[in-house]
Amino acid sequence: MARVKVLSLGEMADVERQLEPSFDVLRVTGPGIEGALAAHGPAIRAVATRGRDRIGEEMLARLPALEMIANYGVGYDSIDVEAARRRGLVVTNTPEVLNDEVADLAMALLLATVRQIPQADRFVRSGRWLQGNFPLGPTLRDRTVGLIGMGRIGRRIAQRLRAFEVPVVYHSRMPQTDLPYRHYPDLRAMAADVDTLLAILPGGAATRKLVDASVLSALGARGIFVNVARGSVVDEPALIEALRSKTILAAGLDVFADEPRVPEALLGMENVVLLPHVGSATHYTRGLMGKLVVDNIVSWFEGKGPLTPVPETPWHRR
């Protein structure tokens, strides 16, 4: 019997290695996708993706035999889930296994931004210490952090902030009644009350440019903005302008609107810490994420259903 053909979008060597003994894996990304769809589209029954290449209605139309899309990552905003749902496809993601890793990175980026760790490192390396001490800087000690989003990862970040004895409040669409933190239904109101915003919410149309010029202006001159969610949740030009004009103090960014392209204006700024989207990027956690992608695909083709379907494409045993 012919093996199930799986299209693997992006570099996921770990996933491909685990799939290859049992599946026919077609590995392609970016400009190569077009040719792969033309040659193999009708035979492809599953797609594994790491979210770099958009899976929209058009691509789905060229994959008539497709049954499922397994996303390597918890955020699946690169997939048109509504179109997938209409087609009766199942979309899976990798929730839970990366919560602590991303929360650790969020704390690291917050501290690096507040305490200017990369700037201090550059100071030592360039020999400037020999001319005098590194200037005093801001602290986490007098700050209140407003989390934008309070999902699985947001909760882990809040726990860490509590251990650091930093007051936490949050903005989300729905208040979470089991949590001790104050909920703000209005993001602008929260921004005005805190001095530090940390974004950890899903990307996509519903949250596009949620953090705009008015939110940044409400955050104010002591303000620090940290983003470990998606570049799309912030109006990037407005953020650049707010940093340039000192409307806010600093930013720590792990995500950008058009990765891996980072705006030139940010590269030249001293009051930003820039990371190459590494929230979950460790051998340990990417290993767990990869295994969950593979387990979802295997489970599906064994007829046992997906392990972690996204809420938009729930699976009911047929």
- Of 97 and 194, nearer to ligand 8YV (C-beta) is 97
- Which of 59, 74, 106, 219 binds ligand 8YV (CB under 6 A)? It is 74
| DSSP type of residue 79 | B
Closer to ligand 8YV by Cβ: residue 10 or 223: 10
Phi and psi angles of residue 119, each rounded to the nearest 5 degrees, phi first: -65, -40
- Residue of 6, 23, 37, 51 that binds ligand 8YV (CB under 6 A): 51
Identified binder of ligand 8YV from the candidate list 63, 81, 98, 198, rule CB under 6 A: 98
Catalytic residue among 27, 50, 230, 286: 230
57 carries an active-site annotation: no
Q: Least distance to ligand 8YV from the beta carbon of 188, Å?
A: 26
175 — alpha (psi -120 to 50), left (phi > 0) or beta? beta
Whole-number minimum distance, CB 241 to ligand 8YV, in Å?
26
Considering only residues 228 to 267 of the shown chain, the ones binding ligand 8YV according to CB under 6 A are none
**Does the footprint of ligand 8YV cover residue 279 (CB under 6 A)?**
yes
Q: What is the CA radius of gyration of the chain?
A: 21
Question: Which residue pairs from 9-14 have beta carbons closer than 8 angstroms and sit at least 24 positions apart in sequence?
Answer: 9/33, 9/47, 9/48, 9/49, 9/50, 9/52, 9/53, 9/55, 10/49, 10/50, 10/51, 10/52, 10/53, 10/72, 11/50, 12/48, 12/50, 12/72, 12/290, 12/293, 14/286, 14/287, 14/290
Nearer Cβ to ligand 8YV (7/219):
7
Q: How far is the CB of 168 from ligand 8YV (least distance, A)?
A: 22
Pick the binder of ligand 8YV from 50, 143, 156, 171 (CB under 6 A).
50
- Out of 3, 40, 62, 259, the active site residue is 259
Of 181, 245, 188, nearest in space to 211 by CA: 188
What values do phi and psi take at 224, rounded to 5? Answer: -125, 130
Q: Which residue lies nearer to ligand 8YV by CB, 72 or 184?
A: 72
Is 73 a binding residue for ligand 8YV by CB under 6 A? The answer is yes
Rounded distance between C-alpha atoms, residue 138 and residue 78, angstroms: 36
Residue 230 among the catalytic residues: yes
* Smaller CB separation from ligand 8YV, 75 or 306: 75
> Please, which residue, 265 or 288, has the CB nearer to ligand 8YV?
288
**CB 169: neighbour CB atoms within 10 A?**
17
Report the alpha-carbon distance of residue 146 to residue 193 in Å, rounded.
9
Centroid of chain to Cα 67: 25
Per CB under 6 A, which of residues 191..220 are in contact with ligand 8YV?
A: none
Question: How distant, in Å, are the alpha carbons of 95, 305, 308 from that of 317?
Answer: 21, 7, 14
Residue 277 falls in the annotated catalytic set: yes
Q: Which residues are catalytic?
A: 230, 259, 277
Residues in contact with ligand 8YV by CB under 6 A are: 50-51, 72-75, 98, 277, 279-280
